[in-house]
């Protein structure tokens, strides 16, 4: 890629943790992948001018802005990257699509099924005009996870028979940790279920190639109130004496049935003491099994049940060969990559699809399907864990 490559002018709405990760992807991808369009990091948007300007300076955006509506009206922006809390996704994405902007939107797609349906409808209409939208389930693009999908699709584990997925964190174990937007249902939609459980749902469906059709689940809020953040004397992020209600789940446990009839077990919690970011998925089949652990993201465990009995056992595959998904763009074999690389892979796939005029995946329709699973789990929990169907 060189200066003659057509530009893809990007605006990012929101910043913070995900803003840093997405900025890394936009900045690094064109330097390691031969992209058909040249991402241009033009503007980052935040509610407050000073933090937005600081984010632009730190992460390499040309300018900052405080009004996302002004940004999507600009003729010099081609794509809008949404990394704001879930309650704003629908309004921003629909307006940007109607303005002719491509979209990358963080997961989960929205806070409610109705919002997600409106977003998917807007995306389908925009696609008819060659304007495309993608939802950011980035863990699909960890090379080992993509390779797991490839092995399953190639029949290496035979008929899928059982799925286990759990996503365990512990950053809320301290009951005095302050109340943030992620613990407010109006802003976040749900707690552990949508924040990290959505990843487990999407990756399980991605690797198996099957969708969930019904669920039975239970949600629990372990700490009902937390200190409210106080802002005073120029300081932010300080816990005050006031306490506010936690209105989302802390723990989500559910069983799911896939379209083939296969059962899967799922767990998502931010209360698993000692687990920092333990996302694990195992798929067992008639001829073998695969096991992936995000905390060992450069490796995939593969069990070949067709091998002689004396030779069977999970094999640790180091997914760094140039033939492995995405790996050839990076370092020599055995030189490891990290969490941030998935965001560069996301940019590569999105830019390739836009340039080719094809729908990138996961689409907003895919995001809507995950939203329906989240909604079904919540409905099931409210109905005594009754099995709840997921609309097709």
Mean pLDDT along residues 312-321: 98
| SS3 track for the chain | CCCCCCEEEEEEECCCHHHHHHHHHHHHHHHHCCCCCEEEEEEEECCCHHHHHHHHHHHCCCEEECCHHHHHCCCCCCEEEECCCHHHHHHHHHHHHHCCCEEEEECCCCCCHHHHHHHHHHHHHHHCCCCCEEEECHHHHCHHHHHHHHHHHCCCCCCEEEEEEEEECCCCCCCCCCECHHHCHHHHCCCHHHHHHHHHHHHHHHHHCCCEEEEEEEEECCCCEEEEEEEECCEEEEEEEEEEECCCCCEEEEEEEECCCCEEEEEEECCCCCCCCEEEEEEEECCEEEEEEHHHCCEEEEEECCCCHHHCCCEEEECCCCCCCCHHHCCCCCCCCCCCHHHHHHHHHHHHHHHHCCCCCCEHHHHHHHHHHHHHHHHHHHCCCCCEECCC
Residues of the chain with pLDDT > 70, as a percent, come to 97
Under the banding of pLDDT at 50, 70 and 90, the label for residue 380 is very high
Under the banding of pLDDT at 50, 70 and 90, the label for residue 5 is very high
Which tens digit of pLDDT belongs to each residue from 275-302?
Answer: 999 999 999 999 999 999 999 999 999 9
Mean pLDDT along residues 82-108: 97
Asked if residue 100 has pLDDT above 50, the reply is yes
The CATH number, out of the four listed (3.90.79.10, 3.40.50.720, 3.40.190.10, 1.10.150.120), of the domain defined by the range 7-138? 3.40.50.720
Asked if residue 234 has pLDDT above 50, the reply is no
Under the banding of pLDDT at 50, 70 and 90, the label for residue 232 is very low
Under the banding of pLDDT at 50, 70 and 90, the label for residue 4 is confident
Which tens digit of pLDDT belongs to each residue from 8-59?
Answer: 999 999 999 999 999 999 999 999 999 999 999 999 999 999 999 999 999 9
Which tens digit of pLDDT belongs to each residue from 157-210?
Answer: 999 999 999 999 999 999 999 999 999 999 999 999 999 999 999 999 999 999
Mean pLDDT along residues 257-282: 98
Give residue limits of the domains in the chain. Answer: 7-138, 142-335+368-382
pTM of the model: 0.95
State the CATH class of domain 142-335+368-382. alpha beta
Under the banding of pLDDT at 50, 70 and 90, the label for residue 342 is very high
Average pLDDT of the chain is 96
């Amino acid at each position: 890629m060189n200066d003659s490559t057509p530009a893809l002018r990007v605006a990012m709405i929101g910043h913070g943790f995900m803003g840093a990760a997405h900025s890394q992807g936009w900045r690094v991808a064109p330097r390691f992948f031969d992209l058909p369009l040249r991402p241009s990091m033009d503007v980052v948007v935040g509610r407050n001018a000073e933090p937005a300007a600081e984010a632009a300076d730190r992460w390499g955006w040309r300018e900052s802005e405080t009004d996302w509506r002004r940004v999507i009206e600009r003729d010099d922006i081609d794509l809008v990257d949404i990394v704001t809390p879930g309650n704003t996704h629908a309004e921003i994405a629909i307006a940007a699509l109607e303005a002719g902007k491509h979209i990358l939107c963080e997961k989960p797609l929205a806070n409610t099924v109705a919002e997600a349906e409106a977003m998917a409808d807007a995306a389908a209409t925009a696609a008819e005009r060659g304007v495309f939208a993608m939802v950011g389930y980035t863990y699909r693009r960890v090379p080992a996870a993509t390779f797991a999908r490839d092995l399953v699709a190639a029949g290496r584990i035979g008929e899928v028979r059982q799925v286990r997925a759990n996503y365990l964190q512990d950053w809320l174990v301290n009951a005095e940790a302050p109340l943030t937007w992620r613990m407010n249902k109006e802003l976040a939609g749900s707690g552990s279920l949508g924040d990290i459980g959505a990843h487990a749902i999407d990756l399980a469906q991605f690797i198996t190639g099957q969708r969930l059709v019904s669920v039975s689940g239970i949600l629990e809020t372990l700490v009902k109130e937390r200190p409210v953040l106080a802002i005073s004397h120029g300081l932010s992020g300080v816990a005050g004496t006031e306490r506010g209600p936690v209105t989302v789940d802390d723990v989500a446990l559910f069983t799911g049935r896939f379209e083939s009839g296969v059962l899967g077990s799922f767990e998502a919690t931010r209360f698993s003491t000692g687990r920092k970011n333990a996302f694990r998925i195992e798929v067992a089949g008639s001829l073998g099994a695969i096991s992936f652990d995000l905390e060992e993201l450069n490796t995939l465990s593969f069990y070949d049940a067709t091998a002689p009995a004396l030779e069977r056992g999970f094999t640790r595959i180091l997914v760094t060969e140039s033939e492995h998904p995405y790996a050839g763009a990076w370092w020599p074999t055995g030189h490891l990559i990290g969490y941030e690389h998935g965001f560069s892979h996301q940019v590569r796939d999105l830019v390739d699809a836009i340039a080719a005029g094809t729908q990138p995946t996961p689409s907003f329709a895919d995001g809507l399907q995950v939203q329906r699973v989240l909604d079904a789990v919540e409905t099931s929990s409210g109905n005594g864990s009754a099995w709840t169907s997921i609309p097709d």
